[in-house]
């Protein structure tokens, strides 16, 4: 891992990290590079974006804009030759007693990160055909995640008590006395459940896995749990992956192009499921997509990315009604829409730049119709141009056209 | 022939792929990829063919060009039945028909320079050689927005959008009348997609082309097409000369249209969520193939196969209850957009 040097420092000796209590994730000035033979790919160049508790945030942009790298940086899954070079990823963690602690995910130890990854922050990847392990049953794969991250002793004890109570209803005479004394003993352990055996844990985890499959509305979940990934259709596999990601009640779920490989009617099912589950589980979601339709349909906040920079960040309604960055407005005009017919689409000239030699100044300037000399020399600052509407641009458009 | 304006007429086209099984690899069943479809393509128009994966749209496109032989049915190109043609006749006719595939990297030979790739059809058909060939290739490349510097480069040196331009140039080299576009922009980004779509519209005007535009993306199909055919499990369920978004009459088309995420937050939540997924084309449902997922389905739907009926103005719908149903999502949409207009 790239962060080994810093990961050994004691987090207690660090100064107290400050974070807005409404936020759950605060990414500041994140820089990630990839060191390839051809040169250094500056994949993320100072990404700043926030996720509020309970929000659905979209990271939207074209191929190579850094959406997936942002997600991988959050999960600390950037592999060699990539490296997170700078920045902070502050995460509001909750201890068991409910106190909130702010942690910088880039500074904590790998052990600590492993407790967060898959547990408090989990991710669903794009291609449901490649992600579930093909040689294990769906249910076992979900159960494994549960076993690794959750303490099931209380669930197992409660299950035993429930079984005893059922038995008590049927029992008579001496047996009933025995059962009730055993029951009292078990109830006494509730405050401090004993360590269950491996077999008990496996059984309980499997039962929870079926519960999770039910929650994602998998038809006949108990049977599906015993099937292998290739026996499921694309949509069902994606549901299974979502069940796996949600099985530890994560606080943040990252969906990296989770519906891109699916047909529209199935995509609609999965998107609705995600938003329904968000309310049930009290989680926050980051949706990574290139489809502005998906953004409009499901997200509350949007960050538009271009060439490793968040060029515009605001709430969804605002973004679609008043896009301020020329790239955003260009993108919105470039998509064919079902709701209107135009003779010709407005196109953005040129192509996405090579990030080994990104354009100087504003990275969008070679394709921007409003670009001036300032744009090619100086990178525009990240500015709150309207309340809650952050833009990086020297020549804002939309309602702010002509302001500068 | 109904009209001289018809360029291609497809009648009861079927394409079944046999499935073999058992020790002797006997044929145990068929994948009914395209199952009895009929339609016409008029000169100069773009017919959009839309549907979800596995509905048979790509197979339909390839069967029409006889790139794969049809199992049954007739395809007339300017009155001639392609399926009955000899190899020589077909070779002659092929100049008039062309195809652009989804993945431009896979459909360009990595070892041929752009000049050779685009020039090959001209050379094979003995149209030009040497210096004249080079000039013709250059002219084609300029038409699609590439320049002289690109002539001697290889496919890997180009971006995805540029590669697709090369494929378009190659497809147009023989000045065809008819071009099948099979998901031409589904592997490109939004900004590049707009460039490619605009280019294809311009070229259509310039060369007087007729397109069959195949895509799973309804918004793109609507943008490009004069008429739209919706396929489901090997059948055409609806063919509309007007706006599929406004006028869908088949419950499947309506659900499909409503499921497309629209980049406008004020239209949120109008998706009619279809239960389940597309069934297997090996054992398609009896009667109307959509009936297990249709909320209006009756007993009749599971028994009787609905015919494609003309509901007026050439709007064809294959539903027993076409025109009688209240495809409710429309109302929801109207309410929403009215509210947005008032606000």
Classify residue A17 by its DSSP letter: P
Taking the alpha carbons of B264, B270, B276, B277 in that order, is the dihedral positive or negative? negative
- Residue B281 domain-assigned (yes or no): yes
Structure confidence by residue, pLDDT tens digits, A234-276: 788 888 888 888 888 899 999 998 888 788 888 888 888 888 8
CB pairs under 8 A between A and B: 133
- Residue B164 domain-assigned (yes or no): no
Between chains, do B191 and A269 touch, taking CB under 8 Å as contact? no
Spell out the residues 6+ positions from residue B167 whose beta carbon is closer than 8 angstroms to its own.
Answer: B100, B101, B104, B107, B108
Question: Which residues from chain B sit within 8 angstroms of residue A63, using beta carbons?
Answer: 189
Query: What pLDDT does residue B160 have?
Result: 84
Structure confidence by residue, pLDDT tens digits, B161-217: 889 999 999 999 999 999 999 999 887 888 889 999 999 999 999 999 999 999 999
Question: 3-state SS of chain B?
Answer: CCCCCEEEEEEEEEEEEEEEECCCCEEEEEEEEEEEEEEEEECCCEEEEECCCCCCHHHHHHHHCCCCCCCEEEEEECCEEHHHCCHHHHHHHHCCEEEECCCCCCCCCCCCCHHHHHHHHHHHCCCCCHHHHHHHHHHHHHHCCCCHHHCCCCHHHCCHHHHHHHHHHHHHCCCCCEEEEECCCCCCCHHHHHHHHHHHHHHHHHHCCEEEEEECCHHHHHHHCCEEEEEECCEEEEEECCCHHHHCCCHHHHHHHHHCCCCCHHHCCCCCCCCCCCCCCCCCCCCCCCHHHCCCCCHHHHHCCCCCEECCCCCEECCCCCCCCCCCHHHHHHHHHHHHHHC
Read off the pLDDT band of B331 (50, 70, 90): very low
Spell out the residues 6+ positions from residue B244 whose beta carbon is closer than 8 angstroms to its own.
Answer: B50, B218, B222, B228, B230, B238, B253, B257
Q: Mark the ranges of chain A whose per-residue pLDDT is less than 50.
A: 1-13
- Residue B84 domain-assigned (yes or no): no
Query: What pLDDT does residue B201 have?
Result: 94
Query: What pLDDT does residue A128 have?
Result: 64
Distance CA B57, CA B54 (A): 8
Structure confidence by residue, pLDDT tens digits, B263-320: 888 888 777 788 877 888 888 899 999 999 998 899 999 999 999 999 888 899 999 9
**Alpha-carbon distance B139 to nearest alpha carbon in chain A (angstroms):** 21
Query: What pLDDT does residue B239 have?
Result: 94
Best A269, A330, A336, A368 residue to mutate vs chain B (most B CBs within 10 Å): A336
Read off the pLDDT band of B45 (50, 70, 90): very high
Residue B317 CB neighbour total at 10 angstroms: 25
* Phi, psi values for residue B268, rounded to 5°: -65, 150
Whose tokens are 């002793």? That residue is A153
Between chains, do B262 and A338 touch, taking CB under 8 Å as contact? yes
Q: Does B260 touch chain A (CB under 8 A)?
A: yes
Q: Can you give the residue range of the structural domain that contains B318?
A: 253-343
What chain A residue is nearest to B199 in terms of C-alpha separation?
A344
Q: What is the mean pLDDT of residues B217-246?
A: 90
Between chains, do A292 and B190 touch, taking CB under 8 Å as contact? yes
Tokens describing residue A63: 């191929």
Residue A215 CB neighbour total at 10 angstroms: 19
- Residue B327 domain-assigned (yes or no): yes
Tokens describing residue B308: 């494609």
Between chains, do A296 and B218 touch, taking CB under 8 Å as contact? no
Question: Which residues from chain B sit within 8 angstroms of residue A331, using beta carbons?
Answer: 190-191
Taking the alpha carbons of A346, A348, A351, A352 in that order, is the dihedral positive or negative? negative
Question: Which residues from chain A sit within 8 angstroms of residue B222, using beta carbons?
Answer: 336, 338, 341
Count of domains forming chain B: 1
Average pLDDT, chain B: 87
Between chains, do A296 and B263 touch, taking CB under 8 Å as contact? yes
Partners of residue A82 on adjacent β-strands: A34
Query: What pLDDT does residue A15 have?
Result: 60
What chain B residue is nearest to A272 in terms of C-alpha separation?
B273
- Residue B193 domain-assigned (yes or no): no
- 3-class secondary-structure state, position A14: coil
């Amino acid at each position: 891992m790239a962060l080994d040097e810093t990961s050994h420092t004691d987090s207690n000796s660090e100064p107290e990290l400050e974070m807005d209590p409404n936020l759950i994730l605060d990414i500041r000035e994140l820089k990630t590079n990839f060191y390839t033979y051809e040169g250094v790919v500056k994949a993320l160049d100072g990404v700043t974006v926030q996720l509020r508790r309970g929000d659905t945030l979209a990271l939207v942009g074209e191929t190579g804009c850094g959406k997936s790298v942002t997600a991988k940086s959050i999960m600390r899954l950037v592999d060699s030759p990539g490296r997170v070079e700078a920045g902070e990823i502050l995460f509001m963690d909750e201890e068991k007693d409910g106190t909130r602690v702010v942690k910088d995910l880039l500074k904590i130890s790998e052990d600590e990160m492993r407790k967060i990854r898959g547990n408090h922050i989990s991710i669903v990847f794009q291609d449901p055909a490649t992600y579930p392990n093909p040689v294990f049953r769906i249910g076992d794969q979900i159960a494994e995640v549960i076993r690794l991250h959750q303490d099931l002793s209380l669930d197992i004890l409660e299950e035993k008590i429930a079984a005893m109570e059922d038995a008590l209803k049927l029992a008579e005479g001496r047996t009933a006395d025995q059962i009730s004394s055993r029951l009292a003993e078990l109830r006494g352990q509730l405050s401090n459940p004993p360590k269950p055996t491996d077999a008990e844990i496996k059984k309980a985890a499997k039962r929870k896995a079926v519960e999770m499959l039910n929650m994602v509305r998998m038809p006949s979940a108990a049977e599906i749990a015993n099937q292998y990934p290739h026996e499921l259709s694309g949509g069902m596999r994606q549901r299974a992956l979502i069940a796996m990601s949600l099985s530890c009640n994560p606080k943040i779920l990252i969906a990296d192009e989770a519906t891109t490989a699916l047909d529209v009617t199935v995509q609609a099912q999965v998107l609705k499921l995600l938003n329904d589950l968000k309310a049930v589980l009290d989680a926050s979601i980051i949706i990574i997509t290139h489809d502005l339709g998906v953004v409009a349909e499901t997200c509350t906040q949007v960050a538009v990315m271009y060439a490793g920079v968040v060029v515009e960040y605001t709430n969804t309604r605002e973004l679609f009604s008043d896009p301020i960055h020329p790239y955003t407005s260009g993108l919105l005009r470039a998509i064919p829409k079902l709701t209107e017919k135009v003779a010709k689409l407005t196109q953005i000239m040129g192509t996405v730049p090579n990030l080994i030699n990104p354009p100087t100044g504003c990275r969008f300037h070679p394709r921007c119709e409003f670009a001036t000399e300032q744009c090619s020399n100086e990178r525009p600052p990240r500015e709150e141009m309207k309340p809650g509407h952050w833009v990086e641009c020297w020549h804002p458009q939309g309602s702010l056209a002509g302001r500068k | 022939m109904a009209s001289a304006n018809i360029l291609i007429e497809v009648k009861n086209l079927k394409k079944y792929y046999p499935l073999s099984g058992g020790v002797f690899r006997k044929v145990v069943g068929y994948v009914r990829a395209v199952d009895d479809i009929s339609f016409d393509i008029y000169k100069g128009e773009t017919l959009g063919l839309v549907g979800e994966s596995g509905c048979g749209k790509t197979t339909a496109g390839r069967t029409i060009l006889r790139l794969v032989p049809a199992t049954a049915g007739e395809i007339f190109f300017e009155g001639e039945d392609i399926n009955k043609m000899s190899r020589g006749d077909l070779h002659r006719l092929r100049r008039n028909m062309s195809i652009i595939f989804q993945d431009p990297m896979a459909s360009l030979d990595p070892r041929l320079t752009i000049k050779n790739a685009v020039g090959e059809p001209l050379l094979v058909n003995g149209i030009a050689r040497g210096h004249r060939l080079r000039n013709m290739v250059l002219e084609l490349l300029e038409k699609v927005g590439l320049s002289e510097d690109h002539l001697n480069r290889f496919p890997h040196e180009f971006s995805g959008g540029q590669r697709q331009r090369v494929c378009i140039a190659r497809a147009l080299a023989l000045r065809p009348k008819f071009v099948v576009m099979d998901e031409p922009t589904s592997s490109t980004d939004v900004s590049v997609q707009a460039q490619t779509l605009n280019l294809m519209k311009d070229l259509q005007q310039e060369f007087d082309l007729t397109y069959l535009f195949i895509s799973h993306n309804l918004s793109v199909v609507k943008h490009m097409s004069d008429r739209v055919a919706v396929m489901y499990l090997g059948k055409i369920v609806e063919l509309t000369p007007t706006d599929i978004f406004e006028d869908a009459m088949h419950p499947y088309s309506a659900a499909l249209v409503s499921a497309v995420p629209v980049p406008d937050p004020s239209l949120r939540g109008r998706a009619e969520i279809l239960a389940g997924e597309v069934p297997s084309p090996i054992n398609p449902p009896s009667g109307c193939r959509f009936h297990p997922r249709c909320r209006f389905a009756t007993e009749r739907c599971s028994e009787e196969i609905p015919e494609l009926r003309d509901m007026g103005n050439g709007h064809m719908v294959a539903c027993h209850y076409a025109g009688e149903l209240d495809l409710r999502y429309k109302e929801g949409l109207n309410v929403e957009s009215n509210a947005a207009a008032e606000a």
